[in-house]
Structures are given as C-alpha cells and as structure tokens.
C-alpha cells in the first residue's frame, strides 16, 4: 500500500511538473509571437522571423505562429513553396482556419497553380464564421480573371462588394474584367470607384495615374499588364 501511494504521488508530481512546463512554454511562445508581430508592424522582417521561429520551437502546434511564418515567406521573402508548407501545417491543426486557407490560395496563385488556388479560396469561404470573406472573394475574382473566366470573376468581385461595399480592390478587378470584355464605360466607372475608395488616392485621378506610371516602370509580367490597362482605362 505504501509503495503504491509513493507511485501515485510521483505520477501526480511528474504530471504537475510537465503541465507547469507546458504552460510556461506557451507563455514564452506567446511573448515571442507578440514581439514578432510588433517587428512586422515596423517592417523589421528578419527580427520578426526570428521571434516567430523561437515561438514555434516552444509551441509547435500553434496555428497562429505557423500562419505568421507562412505570411513572411509569402509576402516578404517570396518563398512560395515554404509559405505553402506552413499554411498547410496550420490547416492540419484547424481545417476551418480560413485566414490560412485564403493565404494558401494566394501562395498557389503566385506559382501559377490556379486550380488549387481556387479550391483554397473556396475552402476559406465555406466557413460561415470567416470574418473577412471579402478578401477571399476578391482573390477568387483575380484568379478567374487570370484564367479569362471574366463572368465568374465579375461575380466574385461583386460578392466581395456585397460584404464590404467600400473595398477598393474589387473595383480595380471589375475595371480589368469589363475592359477585357469590351465594356469600356463600365470599366471607366469601376476604376473611378476604385480610386474614390483607395486610401492612397482618395479620388485623385491625376495622383493615381502618376503612381501607376511610376509603378509600371518596375512591374513585371501580369502586374505590368494590369497597370498598363489601368492607365488605358483612365483615358476613357
């Protein structure tokens, strides 16, 4: 009986120590994560990346940490395969993590994997609790535009605007779609609305045109064509 009591005591003690250690690790991981977020907000990418890696070592099953690392690979380092890997890991932990699904779609899109991008965006939208569905609808519209499914793209952009009527990005997308379909009046109306709502321009078309011309000098590929189309539409 005495030996059994000792075994029970040791088991409880060791479990308690383990639980305490786990709790401490989670707290430390959260501190590193929050510090990483502050670095990101200041556009200090490498320190943020280091803090997120430290957080992940302490709490490897935290979807937010995995998502944050994926964002750095996607938007800052432009390492799309690594971004895909981290977003997929986050989704293994929580398949309803719509923010990761949306970002995974964008990573697929950047590598030309459009079918997988569409699937990921739709996965994000399948979650009725997703707080920012307008983002996924806008991204879905852009992919449909890339593969020349203009009517599907227009529908997706309009769905984005139904959820956030002042969102400027879908209006830019609509301008491109209408321009591609030869609906030049609609394209001109859409880009006017885009510039009205865009916080960079606040309705100033001259400022927008000058900015587009400057961006076109360094843009490449599809982005360069999009900007050239915007400049053309502003002449209508």
- Is residue 9's pLDDT more than 80? no
Q: Is residue 44 part of a domain?
A: yes
Count of CB atoms within 10 A of residue 14's CB?
10
Q: Is residue 158 part of a domain?
A: yes
Q: Average pLDDT over the chain, rounded to whole?
A: 94
| Pair (159, 224) in one structural domain | yes
- Report CA torsion sign: 186, 187, 192, 195: positive
| Pair (158, 112) in one structural domain | no
Domain boundary among 131, 164, 190: 131
Cβ distance 137 to 170 under 8 Å?
yes
Q: Is residue 116 part of a domain?
A: yes
Percent of the chain surpassing pLDDT 70: 91
| Pair (170, 108) in one structural domain | no
pLDDT bucket at 8, cuts 50 / 70 / 90: low
| Per-residue CA distances from 219 to 24, 161, 186, 213 (Å) | 47, 27, 26, 10
Q: Is residue 85 part of a domain?
A: yes
Considering only CA atoms, which of 142, 138, 189 is closest in space to residue 162? 138
Per residue in 46-67, pLDDT tens?
Answer: 999 999 999 999 999 999 999 9
| Pair (95, 160) in one structural domain | no
Nearby residues of 4 by Cβ (< 8 Å), 6 or more positions away: none
Q: Is residue 204 part of a domain?
A: yes
Domain boundary among 131, 161, 185: 131
Q: What is the pLDDT of residue 20?
A: 58
| Pair (180, 113) in one structural domain | no
Cβ distance 132 to 99 under 8 Å?
yes
> Token digits for 115?
């079918």
Q: What is the pLDDT of residue 75?
A: 95
Classify residue 76 by its DSSP letter. Answer: I
3-state secondary structure of 136: helix
Q: What is the largest CA-CA distance in the chain?
A: 92
Provide the residue range defining the domain that includes 231: 148-235
pLDDT bucket at 23, cuts 50 / 70 / 90: confident
Nearby residues of 10 by Cβ (< 8 Å), 6 or more positions away: none
Angle CA 199–205–209, to nearest 5: 100
Q: Is residue 75 part of a domain?
A: yes
Domain boundary among 131, 158, 183: 131
Per residue in 77-106, pLDDT tens?
Answer: 999 999 999 999 999 999 999 999 999 999
Per residue in 161-219, pLDDT tens?
Answer: 999 999 999 999 999 999 999 999 999 999 999 999 999 999 999 999 999 999 999 99
pLDDT bucket at 155, cuts 50 / 70 / 90: very high
Q: Is residue 20 part of a domain?
A: no
CATH number at 202 reads 1.25.40
Taking the C-alpha atoms of residue 16 and residue 202, their distance in angstroms, rounded to an integer, is 58
Q: Is residue 1 part of a domain?
A: no
pTM: 0.88
CATH number at 63 reads 1.25.40.10
Give how many domains the chain has, as a whole number. 2
């Amino acid at each position: 009986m005495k030996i059994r009591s000792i075994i029970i005591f040791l088991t409880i003690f060791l479990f308690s120590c383990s639980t305490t250690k786990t709790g401490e690790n989670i707290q430390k991981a959260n501190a590193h994560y929050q510090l990483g977020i502050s670095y990101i907000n200041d556009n200090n990418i490498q320190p943020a990346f280091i803090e997120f890696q430290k957080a992940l070592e302490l709490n490897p099953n935290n979807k937010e940490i995995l998502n944050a690392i994926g964002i750095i690979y996607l938007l800052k380092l432009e390492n799309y395969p690594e971004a895909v890997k981290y977003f997929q890991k986050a989704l293994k932990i929580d398949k309803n993590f719509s923010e990761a699904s949306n970002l995974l779609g964008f990573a697929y899109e950047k590598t030309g994997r459009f079918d997988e991008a569409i699937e990921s965006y739709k996965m994000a939208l399948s979650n009725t609790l997703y707080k920012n569905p307008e983002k996924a609808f806008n991204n879905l519209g852009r992919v449909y535009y890339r593969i020349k499914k203009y009517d599907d793209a227009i529908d997706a952009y309009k769905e984005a605007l139904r959820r956030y009527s002042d969102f400027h990005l879908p209006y830019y997308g609509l301008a491109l779609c209408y321009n591609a379909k030869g609906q030049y009046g609609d394209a001109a109306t859409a880009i006017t609305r885009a510039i009205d709502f865009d916080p960079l321009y606040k309705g100033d078309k001259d400022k927008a045109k000058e900015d587009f011309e400057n961006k076109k000098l360094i843009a490449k590929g599809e982005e360069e064509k999009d900007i050239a189309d915007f400049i053309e539409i502003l002449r209508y």
